[in-house]
Structure 1
Amino acid sequence: MKRFGFYGLFFVLIVVGAFLVAGCAGQQNKPAGESNVIKIGFAAPLSGSQAEMGTYLKNGALMAIDKINAKGGINGKKLELVAMDDKADPKEAVSVAQKFAADPSIVAVIGHLNSGASIPASAIYHQAGLVMVSPSSTNPKLTEQGFNNVFRVCTTDAMQGPFAAKFVKDKLKKDTAVVLDDKTAYGQGLADEFSKAFQADGGKVLMREGINQGDKDFTALLTKIKSVNPQVIYFGGMYPEAGQMVKQMKSLGMNKIDFVSGDGVEDPAFIKIAGADANGTYASNVGPAIEKVPGSKEFIDEYTKKFGNPPGPYALFGYDAALAVITALEKAPKPDRADVLKVMPTVSFEGMLGKTSFDSKGDTTNKILTMFVVKDEKWQPVD
């Protein structure tokens, strides 16, 4: 009897434990409207060469979420950011999107950073009726797919490319350029828009070449470019490659050729790579200079205190992408995918980027653009 009693008790404990574990798992995977926590997905490169930019986005989003949680959340429910690393890789982005789509507790997704990640991931989110708000994907194709769930808080390369072309022609007074891109949806798209606008304004593109993300030695390509003697090199791509390129330009004596790029380069990490050779580099961004944003000192101080270093420009975009989702959740009758999707087109708010609302395609109506230059190894807005 004692022996039977021991095994009987052991069996009961196993069964009770199993129910407890199942109960916890059930709480974690409850549909959004049935949980005490509202979960928002976040996707960006959090490892690899672009992790610094992805981390700025994530931290900006966390600041917006922490602020609303400090006020009690939304209807008594706290918000939680569920972050996943897409490694700036389209295939990984699809995998991340599938995981978010399959989790009924995720009500919306902030992401992705790169256009090449956002475009394939958006189809997965569309099938799941899951809102995605990209903080930084600028390729126009993202919102030209006819998906009703895709939004972004940054303007597109259809504006950024011509903006840079006009700057090169009118401000720098340069008429010849070599145009490079990193063969990604973002880089190639931006370079295309620059080339079209530059040539339409009478500029001449002497050469068009592509590089690969991850390349580090550009000596042969730059030597080839030097032989055609352009006044400007325009690069559609990201800061890891741009930093190496600018250093190697200086070592080859290409000091009289201006280097101009886009928002993928306007980041402190570019200067860390290029060092003093970064001085004189130009890059546009699809937002304002952080120092000129009302309330920016409070934002910078709070960010620095929370994360131990000052914010990069993309922290603003992460913050406002999160604000877009938060505003939708505040308007939605229920905190679930269907109601968030229903109210998202009507969202309007004042954020760190200025006044944001969305047009019929999901693009922001805020079209602010800023050109920056590196002076004294710091990005500064061009007057």
Structure 2
Amino acid sequence: MFIPGRRALLLGAISLIPAFAIAQSEETSPIRIGVSGPFTGGSSPMGESMRNGIRIAVEEINNIGGLNGRKIELVERDDQANPELGAKIAEELARMKVVATVGIVNTGVGLASIDAYQKAKVPLLIAVSTGTSLTRKYAPPAAPENYIFRISPTLDLEAKVVVAELKRKGAQKVAILADTTAYGDAGLKAFQEQAKGAGVEVSGEERFKIGDQDMTAQVKNAKATGAQALVVWGIGPELAAIARNKEALGWKAPMLGSWTFSMRNFIDGSGKAGEGALMPQTFIQDMGSSSKNSFLLAYKRTFKTDRIPSPMSAAQGYDGMHLLYLALRQANSTEGTKIKDALENLKSRYQGVITSYNKPFSKEDHDAITQNMLIMGVVTNGRVDYAYADDQKRGALLRMKAQ
């Protein structure tokens, strides 16, 4: 027998099924995090190392149950160090509604990508790129909210540390070679500003393109200026070629540069010509603190090698992912605005492999790394070591963010 009330009850129950299924699905579905970087091409040592660091962090997070029982799932995209492709990837990840992205290696890619993340209110944690403007474009008062964060040093900090090292060595007259990318442009400008402020004369400026294999002419011009040191700003195999050109010319002046001197494609490509090259670092691959030791052992266990193509990139990717996890846990939400707010006021202190993070970000400051965290590395015996024993003794706990 047909009962009208029963039909209404049945229809009501059926209408609840989709909503219940969606809610249940959201409670158990993975939390999707974007990963964007160059996994092929000349910048791939940085991109691959960064991704490996992120993967290790995600494995650790998922092994303890993820976030409220939901596992982290990475959505990885290869930007090939191409700004146009990087911009398309940023738009794609934003459309996919990833809750956040960790990545960005090349400054040019970053400049092309940040607008999409900002517009979509998807937090971006820059793990490798040092382009100073990336975290400042939307900083107050330029915009009411800023969704761009960084776990790597800025070019300004790098340049300041390099100039301080030149002063320490007594070099008052230096030449600089920079590549013609956005990274090279920004590095050249930052170095010029820091050198001028410190009273160091820039006696010569030379440029080179990505893919150039012989910079003998530029190195010869730099040497002819009477420079007491050579500063190089670039990425990848070109740096190794410059070191070999310098050695072939018999120029004994010290060579300093950006943190990218620590990459395996420079160390292996330059051979003995790269010995003694100096660069700022956030992380040097040694069995120091317990957190660093644990990370390096995990890397070796996971990827069956202890030769990290770019150790600094791996460490920054690892720490960045763990900081994002803490923000997700604190926000108890996958909503971009709430994650951003949590990052700006992290209540949990995190002992990372780079440093001890205690409120690494604020509403006004989205850069986690301060100058006191940078140390000087030197290429020696085919690896990067501490340039000064005192840096090794300080340890991560003594390199907390300067307030």
> Which TM-score band (shorter chain)?
0.7 to 0.9
Deviations 1:16-61 (A, max 9, x none): xxxxxxx9xx99xx9x956610110001110001111111000000
Q: Give, in whole Å, the separation in 2 of the partners of 1:277 and 1:92.
A: 35
SS at structure 1 position matched to 2:124: strand
Q: Distance in 2 between matches of 1:370 and 1:90?
A: 30
Aligned to 2:342: 343
What is the match of residue 178 of structure 1?
175
Selected match of 2:379 from 354, 360, 374: 374
Q: After the TM superposition, which parts of structure 1 deviate over 3 Å for at least 4 consecutive aligned residues?
A: 32-35
Q: Which residue of 2 is the match for residue 352 of structure 1?
A: 353
Q: Distance in 2 between matches of 1:113 and 1:37?
A: 26
Aligned to 2:315: 316
Measured in 1, the distance between the counterparts of 2:203 and 2:322 equals 43
C-alpha change, 1:186 and 1:164, in structure 2 (3 Å) is same
Q: Distance in 1 between matches of 2:365 and 2:103?
A: 17
- Structure 2 residue aligned with 1:7: none
Please list, as runs of the form range in 1=range in 2, the aligned pairs for 1:210-229 lying within 5 A after superposition: 210-229=207-226
Q: Residue 131 of structure 1: which of 101, 123, 133 is its match?
A: 123
**Equivalent in the alignment of 1:282:** 278
Query: Residue 258 of structure 1 aligns with which residue?
Result: 254
In structure 2, distance between residues paired with 1:265 and 1:213: 15
Percent identity over the alignment?
25
2-structure distance, mates of 1:137, 1:262: 12
| Other structure's SS at 2:259 match | coil
Question: Which of 366-375 and 54-63 deviates more?
Answer: 366-375
Q: Distance in 1 between matches of 2:255 and 2:178?
A: 13
Q: Given residue 201 of structure 1, which amino acid in structure 2 is its aligned partner? A: A
Aligned with 1:76 (options 69, 72, 94): 69
In structure 1, list runs of 5 or more residues that go unmatched: 1-22
Residue 207 (str. 1) matches residue 204 (str. 2) = yes
- Aligned twin of 1:296: 292
Instruction: Determine the C-alpha separation between the residues in 1 that align with 2:225 and 2:245.
Output: 17
* Residue 268 of structure 1 pairs with residue 260 of structure 2: no
- What is the TM-score of this pair, normalised by structure 1? 0.87
Number of aligned residue pairs = 353
Q: Counterpart of 2:383 in structure 1: which amino acid? A: K
Task: Tell me which residue corresponds to 2:166.
Answer: 168
Question: What is the aligned-residue RMSD (CA, Å)?
Answer: 2.2
SS in 1 for 2:99: strand
What displacement does 1:70 show? Answer: 0.6
Q: One-letter code of the match for 2:155?
A: D
Could you tell me how far 1:73 is from its partner in structure 2?
0.9
Counterpart Cα distance in 1 of 2:375 and 2:208: 26
Letter in 1 for 2:338: D
Counterpart CA distance in 2 for 1:188 and 1:238 is 12
Q: In structure 1, give the amino acid aligned to 2:114.
A: S
Please say which of residues 183-192 and 120-129 is displaced more in the overlay.
183-192
Q: Counterparts of 1:168 and 1:33 in 2: how far apart (Å)?
A: 55
* Cross-structure match for 2:368: 364
**Of 292, 301, 308, the match for 1:305:** 301
Is the 2:184–2:234 Cα contact (8 Å) retained in structure 1? Answer: yes
Letter of the structure 1 residue corresponding to residue 46 of structure 2 = M
CA contact (8 A) 1:358 1:365 kept: no
Q: 1:253 to 1:119 in 2, by over 3 A?
A: same
What is aligned with 1:19? none
Question: Which amino acid is the alignment partner of residue 213 of structure 1?
Answer: I
The partner residue of 1:143 within 135, 138, 158 is 135
How far apart, in 1, do the equivalents of 2:370 and 2:72 lie?
26
Q: What amino acid maps onto 2:283 in structure 1?
A: P
| CA distance in 2: counterparts of 1:67 and 1:339, whole angstroms | 24
- 8 Å Cα contact 2:83/2:109 also seen in 1: yes
In 1, the alpha carbon distance for the partners of 2:291 and 2:339 equals 28
Amino acid at match of 1:374: V
- For 2:238 and 2:205, the matched residues in 1 are separated by 17
CA contact (8 A) 2:130 2:153 kept: yes
Deviations 1:346-377 (A, max 9, x none): 12532111123113231115441111111112
CA distance in 1, matches of 2:294, 2:136: 37
Deviations 1:113-145 (A, max 9, x none): 122211220111011110000012212211111
